Structure formats: C-alpha cells, structure tokens
C-alpha cells in the first residue's frame, strides 16, 4: 500500500494531483487515467509508473462508432521534466501543439498560477507562451520543466520555421482583414447613400459587400453579363446543340470582402437566345481537382466542356448511375433533351 492515499494527497507542483501522486507515491506499473476534456471526449489518457523516476503517458481512443482502439505513447515525465514523444493523439489530429493543449487541460502543467503556460491556435499552428513570455510552436521532443515552467531544450529547426511562417501568415491576414473591412464599410456607406439609385454605385462594389441581399441588388441592376465583361475570362469550350449556341467560360472572380486576398476562377455557361441574341449566364460547378476522389457529391464536373456543364446542370450523371455520390458530369453522360419546354 502507498503511504499516502491518492484522495488525501495535496499536490505541490502539478495542477493534476493524481499524476503528481503517481510520481511521488505510486508503485511501479501502477497507473491513473482521465478522460479528455470537451472536444476530446473520446480520448482516455493513461499515466503509468515505469520506474522510480519515470511516468509514461499513453492514449486509448473510445468512440461510439469504432469502439475502443489502441492509441499512442505520447509523453513521459522524468524528474518532473515533461517530454513530448508523439503528436498523434487521435485519428484526426496530428499536431504536437494539440497534444500539449490537451495535457494542459488535464492539469499536466505547473500548479503555481505564476508559472503556468498559455496555448492558442493561430492560423495553421499552435503558439505556446510560457510565464516569461517566451513563445514557440510545440514540437516532438520538446522538454519542459513542470516545477519551474521553463523550457529545457531549444525549439527544433522545424518548429522555429513553422512558428515564423505562421506569424508571418497571421500578420498578412490581419492586414488583409483590415482592408476587407474597409472595403465593406465604404461599399455599405455608398449603398445606403444611393437610396435605391444603383446607378450611383460602382460595379465592383458587388465584390466588396458582404451582405448578399445588397450584392443581389447590384447584380440585378447591372446584369451578370455586364459584370462578367469587367473581369478576366477564358473560353474553355464552345458548342452548338439543337441550333443553340453555348459557350463555357472561366471567370476570374475577385475576393475583396473576405480578407483572403485571392481571386478564384469560376465556370459559367453562356447561352445565346436565338430569338433575341441576348446572353444568359448560369453558374456551373468547377472541374474536379482530384479525379480519383470524384469530388464532393455532385458539386464538380469532370471536364471543362459545354456538354459536361449541361450534364451537371440537368443531373444526367446522377440519372445514369442512380447515385448522388458517384454520378459524374461528363460529355459522355450528357442526355440530349427530346423536347425543350
């Protein structure tokens, strides 16, 4: 029997008294375990006393659809030095920062509030900040003192590069968001001042406004054909079917409202009215980027052709297979209408 019962133990160094009790009074091969916090409920963390000085941490995954499965050897504590061994804490997580965050949520951190750490996810990486304001991206092999709260070893080159890149990306996106907010605010001011007279609004305000109703007002006033005429376009295919001329064009659409600082190509099917000669444009799904996965449901086409676009619009691929997940929109799947109504 241990000299001090786990329920009576008062922790000195760690927020998690069970782990500290195991370090100080647990027998070899004795263990304590705890379930993950909110967002990590399917993970069970098991701490096992390996020898007098070392406690090992493993994970077990217990989900309602997959049952209980073996996890990973994730970390160890030797003489109160926490070392990260593996970044894979669950099926869909592959970040050592995520692992450190979950251990911190379980109290595997200094008990002294003045020595505790902070961790946050920023864009693409976790940023961990110590009590002395030292900040870095956690990495496999990281060692940190649970008594003093200090980093024991220097960040790896991989960690330092990822931290630097994420900080630069964050700075860029913050600047982009400020510009997008400025564009949106100014466009909203012009919209309200116009008071329904949309001729007073510049046509590119449609790309600056975030409010979809206001964007629709501008689009209905100017017309999609006139808006597309102001943008960069590429003709992907032309075809005449039943005496009707079709053109599939790729349009470079500016993104001035989201802060992403990017332009995206989007396919539009142009149909010419044989009676009036007027153009009518209809948005079409883009070509699938990875043909091996077939895209997400029926939201992509297999090739940039007029017939593939018509096949997608009419749902011919779904009708030919009877499968909303595997229906492919190709020229071969296009079904020519018997009667146009």
pLDDT average, residue stretch 285-290: 74
Kindly state the average pLDDT of the residues 179-185. Answer: 93
pLDDT at 325: 47
The reported pLDDT for the residue numbered 114 is 95
Comparison of pLDDT for 2 and 68, the residue scoring more: 68
Q: Which of 108, 81, 115 is nearest to 11 (CA)?
A: 108
What is residue 255's predicted lDDT score, i.e. its pLDDT?
81
Residue 261 burial (CB count, 10 A) = 15
Residue with tokens 């911190």: 104
Output the pLDDT for position 232. 95
CA distance 337 to 341: 10
Span 3-19, pLDDT tens digits: 688 989 999 999 999 99
Averaged pLDDT for residues 135-147: 95
Decide: 241 and 335 in contact? Cβ < 8 Å. no
Contact 126, 137 (CB under 8 A): yes
pLDDT of residue 94: 46
Pick the residue with more confidence: 3 or 132?
A: 132
Of 50-59, 197-206, 212-221, 264-273, the poorest mean pLDDT is in 264-273
Q: Model confidence at 292, in pLDDT bands (50, 70, 90)?
A: very low
Give the integer Cα–Cα distance in Å for 222 and 143. 62
Across all residues in the chain, what is the average pLDDT? 86
CA contacts within 13 A on the Cβ side of 112? 12
Say what the pLDDT of residue 38 is. Answer: 79
Q: What is the pLDDT of residues 226-239, one digit of tens each?
A: 999 999 999 999 99
SS3 call for 35: strand
- pLDDT band of residue 210 (cuts 50, 70, 90) is very high
70-74, 95-99, 219-223, 319-323: segment of lowest average pLDDT: 319-323
Q: Of 70-79, 160-169, 282-291, which range is least confident?
A: 282-291
Provide Rg for the chain, Cα atoms: 30
One-character DSSP codes across 71-86: EEEEEEEETTEEEE--
pLDDT of residue 66: 60
Backbone angles phi, psi at 339, to 5 degrees: -135, 135
pLDDT for the residue numbered 62:
79
User: Which pTM does this prediction carry?
Assistant: 0.69
- The pLDDT of residue 59 is above 50: yes
Q: How many CB atoms lie within 10 A of CB 85?
A: 17
CA distance readout (Å), 87 to 33, 94, 110, 114, 122: 19, 5, 21, 27, 18
Residue with more model confidence, 248 or 42:
248
Residue extents of the structural domains in the chain: 17-155, 166-222, 225-321
The mean per-residue pLDDT over the stretch 37-42 comes to 81
Q: How confident is the model at residue 93 (pLDDT cuts 50, 70, 90)?
A: very low
């Amino acid at each position: 029997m241990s000299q001090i019962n786990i329920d009576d133990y008062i922790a000195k160094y760690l927020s998690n008294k069970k782990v500290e009790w195991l370090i100080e009074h647990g027998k070899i091969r004795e263990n304590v375990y705890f379930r993950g916090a909110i967002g990590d409920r399917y993970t069970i963390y098991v701490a096992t006393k390996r020898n007098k000085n070392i406690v090992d941490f493993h994970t077990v995954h217990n989900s309602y659809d997959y049952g209980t499965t073996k996890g990973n050897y994730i970390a160890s504590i030797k003489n109160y030095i926490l070392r990260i061994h593996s970044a894979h804490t669950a099926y869909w997580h592959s970040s050592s920062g995520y692992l450190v965050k979950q251990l911190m949520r379980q109290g595997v951190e200094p008990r002294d509030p003045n020595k505790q750490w902070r961790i946050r996810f920023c864009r693409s990486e976790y940023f961990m900040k110590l009590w002395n304001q030292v900040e870095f991206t956690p990495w496999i092999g990281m060692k940190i003192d649970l008594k003093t709260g200090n980093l024991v070893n220097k960040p790896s080159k991989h960690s330092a590069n990822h931290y630097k890149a994420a900080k630069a990306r964050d700075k860029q996106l913050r600047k982009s968001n400020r510009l997008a907010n400025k564009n949106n605010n100014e466009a909203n001011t012009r919209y309200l001042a116009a008071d329904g007279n949309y001729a007073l609004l510049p046509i590119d305000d449609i790309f600056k406004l975030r409010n979809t109703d206001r964007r629709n007002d501008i689009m209905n006033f100017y017309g999609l054909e006139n808006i597309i005429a102001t943008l960069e376009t590429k003709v992907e295919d032309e075809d005449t079917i039943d005496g009707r001329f079709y053109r599939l064009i790729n349009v470079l659409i500016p993104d001035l409202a989201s802060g992403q600082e990017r332009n995206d190509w989007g396919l539009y099917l142009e149909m010419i009215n044989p009676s009036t000669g007027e153009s009518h444009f209809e948005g079409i799904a883009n070509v699938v980027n990875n043909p091996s996965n077939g895209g997400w449901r029926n939201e992509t086409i297999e090739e940039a052709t007029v017939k593939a676009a018509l096949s997608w619009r009419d749902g011919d691929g779904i009708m030919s297979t009877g499968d909303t997940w595997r229906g492919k929109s190709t020229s071969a799947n296009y079904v020519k209408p018997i009667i146009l109504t």
